[in-house]
Amino acid sequence: MDSSVPDGLARRLGIEDLAACRRLAEDREWGPEDHKWRFLFSVGDVYGIDDGNGELAATVVSTPYGKDVAAISMVLVAKRYERRGLGGRIMRHAMDKAETASLCLTATEYGRPLYERLGFRSVGLCTTYTGTVEGPSKRGVSVPVEVKDMPDVRALDTEVFGADRSQLVDGLPSFCATFHVVRDEAGVAGFGGAWWNDGRAVIGPVIAQDTKTALALVDEVVPQGPIRLDIDHRHPELIEWAERHDLRPAFSTTVMEYGAPVRNDPSRLYLPVAQALG
Ligand SMILES: CC(C)(COP(=O)(O)OP(=O)(O)OC[C@H]1O[C@@H](n2cnc3c(N)ncnc32)[C@H](O)[C@@H]1OP(=O)(O)O)[C@@H](O)C(=O)NCCC(=O)NCCS
């Protein structure tokens, strides 16, 4: 196979490119993550560089939230083209196309030097905890979301995340296997979900007005079986929850931003939807 660096321009990918994205991810020992890729295709802009032999040499996803923030994810370069400038090229393409004041991403150790060179700054650390749990505890604090809750869910998400993620938020009840809200007299005091990714339930998003509400949501949306929580170090109470449930740290990542500082409230942003989406 020709291994000279592909010189083609990045192009916008469509759902018909999903199988090639999956093959590229598997080349980097990432899971197929079909459900996640499909959701990213539905809410984000997926770009790729063709390798000239019918496969993808590189991908990136940019998910815009209004004019404020875009979440960058799935930065992948095929192993055979590593360290030859493709990662930088596809990232610069996504950055040029993004029309938002800020960009955010969660960087692996592989990716961090590349993002630093492009001007991203570290704003937090995240550790992914994995393990197997018994299932939800029956506290009855939260209830399955209803259509009437969605305006409050959107408003709380925008206030805490610092950008209008309405399109993403509207997709969450069907993307997530479980999506609950905690109601109070003012409306919605918190919401939380869990979704399946390659046979493991990712717990998130969890956004809540206070820790008690957030922990109740986590307790009530966890399914029985293997789970994953991506915990920002600013939330030691979630690390305690993970340790109490015998979860173990699997790997750590760096939360990074570019451009204008994101006007979010990390204290109420307990768990991201996914590292790919913030
Ligand atoms: C992270 C990743 C996307 C980087 O892709 P890449 O194409 O290797 O990136 P680049 O080539 O642009 O840059 C990587 C390094 O190669 C160097 N480089 C670029 N062109 C080069 C060339 N022609 N000759 C020698 N070195 C070169 C860069 O200076 C950079 O060096 P540094 O890391 O020491 O600063 C890739 O390693 C990957 O897919 N990893 C697995 C998935 C992953 O972790 N993705 C990040 C998710 S956050």
Is any ligand 1 atom within 6 A of the Cβ of residue 26?
Answer: no
- Tell me the best of 24, 82, 251 to mutate to test the pocket of ligand 1, counting ligand atoms within 8 Å of each CB and taking the most: 82
Domain with CATH 3.40.630.30 in the chain: 11-100, 128-271
Is any ligand 1 atom within 6 A of the Cβ of residue 227?
Answer: no
Instruction: Give per-residue pLDDT as tens, 239-265.
Output: 999 999 999 999 999 999 999 999 999
Helix intervals (H) in the chain: 18-27, 34-43, 86-97, 112-117, 150-161, 166-175, 211-221, 236-244
Instruction: Give per-residue pLDDT as tens, 207-242.
Output: 999 999 999 999 999 999 999 999 999 999 999 999
Rounded to 5°, angle at Cα 169 from 195 and 60:
75
Indicate if the pLDDT at residue 2 is higher than 70: no
Task: Give the model's confidence band at 4: pLDDT under 50 very low, under 70 low, under 90 confident, else very high.
Answer: confident
Indicate if the pLDDT at residue 167 is higher than 60: yes
- pLDDT at position 139, please? 79
Contact 223, 256 (CB under 8 A): no
Using CA positions, which residue lies closest to atom 14 of ligand 1? 83
Residues 6+ apart with CB under 8 A from 222: 133, 135, 136, 194, 201, 203
- pLDDT at position 138, please? 73
- pLDDT at position 76, please? 97
Calculate mean pLDDT across residues 145-166: 98
- pLDDT at position 136, please? 87
Contact 65, 163 (CB under 8 A): yes
Instruction: Give per-residue pLDDT as tens, 130-148.
Output: 999 998 887 799 999 999 9
CA of 10 to the centre of ligand 1 (A): 16
Q: Measured between alpha carbons, how far is residue 263 from residues 162, 174, 181, 260 in Å? A: 5, 28, 24, 9
> Percentage of residues in the chain with pLDDT exceeding 90?
95
Question: Which atom of ligand 1 is least distant from the CA of 86?
Answer: 7
CATH superfamily of 11-100: Gcn5-related N-acetyltransferase (GNAT) (3.40.630.30)
Is any ligand 1 atom within 6 A of the Cβ of residue 111?
Answer: yes
Is any ligand 1 atom within 6 A of the Cβ of residue 278?
Answer: no
Calculate mean pLDDT across residues 125-130: 98
- pLDDT at position 156, please? 98
Distance (Å, whole) CA 233 – CA 178: 25
Instruction: Give per-residue pLDDT as tens, 13-65.
Output: 999 999 999 999 999 999 999 999 999 999 999 999 999 999 999 999 999 99
Calculate mean pLDDT across residues 150-179: 98
Distance (Å, whole) CA 225 – CA 86: 38
- 215 φ, ψ to 5°? -70, -35
- pLDDT at position 1, please? 52
Using CA positions, which residue lies closest to atom 7 of ligand 1? 87
Is any ligand 1 atom within 6 A of the Cβ of residue 82?
Answer: yes
CA of 119 to the centre of ligand 1 (A): 15
Distance (Å, whole) CA 116 – CA 222: 35
Please tell me the CATH code under which domain 128-271 is placed. 3.40.630.30
Residue from 71, 74, 43 nearest 58 by CA: 74
Using CA positions, which residue lies closest to atom 16 of ligand 1? 83
